[in-house]
Amino acid sequence: MWRGHERGCVVLDVDRDLPWTALPPALTPLLAGHVPAFTEGLLAAVHRDVPVYAASLEGPLRGEIQQGVESALTRFLDLAGTAQPALRDEDRLVYELLGRAEVHQGRPMDALFAAYRSAARTTLRSMSGVAMESGAEASVLIVLAESVFAYIEELSAASAQGYAAEQSERAGEQDRLLDTVAEMLIRGHTEENAVRAAVLTAGWTLPDRVVVVTLPTDRRPGLRARLGPRALLTSRPGDIIAIVPEPASPTAHQELRRALAGRNAVVGPGRPWQSAPDSLRLAVMARDLLPHDPEAEGPLWVTEHLAQLLLLSDRAMIEDLAAQRLAPLEQLRPAQRERLGATLLSWLKHHGHRAAMAAELAVHEQTVGYRVNQLRDVFGETLNDPQTRFELELVLRALPHQDPS
At 189-226, the pLDDT tens digits run 778 888 999 999 888 999 999 999 999 988 888 888 89
Compute φ and ψ for 210, nearest 5 degrees: -135, 160
Domain locations in the chain?
17-167, 206-310, 313-396
Taking Cα atoms as reference points, which of 184, 136, 116 lies closest to residue 28? Answer: 136
3-class DSSP state of 272? strand
Q: Determine the angle formed by the axes of helices 110-133 and 35-49, rounding to 10 degrees.
A: 140
CA-based radius of gyration for the chain: 39
Where is pLDDT greater, at 91 or 308?
91
Mean pLDDT, residues 278-295 taken together: 87
Could you give the CA distance from residue 210 to residue 282 in angstroms, rounded to a whole number? Answer: 13
> Taking CA 231 as the corner, what is the angle to CA 205 and CA 263, rounded to the nearest 5 degrees?
170
Q: Name beta bridge partners: 232.
A: 243
Confidence of residue 14 (pLDDT cuts 50, 70, 90): low
Compute φ and ψ for 9, nearest 5 degrees: -115, 135
Q: Indicate the CATH number of 206-310 among 1.10.287, 3.30.70, 3.30.1490, 1.10.3470.
A: 3.30.70
Could you give the CA distance from residue 85 to residue 394 in angstroms, rounded to a whole number? Answer: 81
Amino acid type, 57? L
Question: SS3 string of 89-135?
Answer: HHHHHHHHHHHHHHHHCCCCCHHHHHHHHHHHHHHHHHHHHHHHHCC
Confidence of residue 395 (pLDDT cuts 50, 70, 90): confident
Mean pLDDT, residues 175-201 taken together: 88
Whether 314 shows a pLDDT value over 90: the answer reads no
Could you give the CA distance from residue 293 to residue 157 in angstroms, rounded to a whole number? Answer: 51
CATH placement of domain 313-396: 1.10.10
Cβ contacts of 355 within 8 Å, gap of 6 or more: 365
Mean pLDDT, residues 348-368 taken together: 92
Q: Is the dihedral of CA 232, 233, 235, 241 positive or negative?
A: positive
Q: Note the pLDDT of residue 400.
A: 60
Confidence of residue 11 (pLDDT cuts 50, 70, 90): very low
Q: Note the pLDDT of residue 371.
A: 92
Taking Cα atoms as reference points, which of 394, 360, 349, 354 lies closest to residue 372? Answer: 354
Confidence of residue 13 (pLDDT cuts 50, 70, 90): low
Instruction: Give domain 17-167's CATH architecture.
Output: Orthogonal Bundle (1.10)
3-class DSSP state of 26? coil
Q: Note the pLDDT of residue 126.
A: 96
The rounded Cα 41 to chain-centroid distance in angstroms is: 45
Q: Which of 7-21, 208-222, 298-312 has the least mean pLDDT?
A: 7-21
Mean pLDDT, the chain, rounded, equals 88
Q: Note the pLDDT of residue 3.
A: 36
Q: Note the pLDDT of residue 297.
A: 76
DSSP 3-state percent helix, strand, coil across the chain (nearest 5): 65, 10, 25
Compute how many other C-beta atoms are within 10 angstroms of the C-beta atom of residue 246: 20
Please return the burial class of 117, using the count of CB atoms within 10 Å of its CB with bins 0-12, 13-18 and 19+. middle
- What is the secondary structure of 298-313 as a DSSP string? SPEEGGGSHHHHHHHS
Mean pLDDT, residues 55-73 taken together: 91
Could you give the CA distance from residue 159 to residue 95 in angstroms, rounded to a whole number? Answer: 5
Whether 243 shows a pLDDT value over 70: the answer reads yes
Q: Note the pLDDT of residue 364.
A: 93
Whether 160 shows a pLDDT value over 70: the answer reads yes
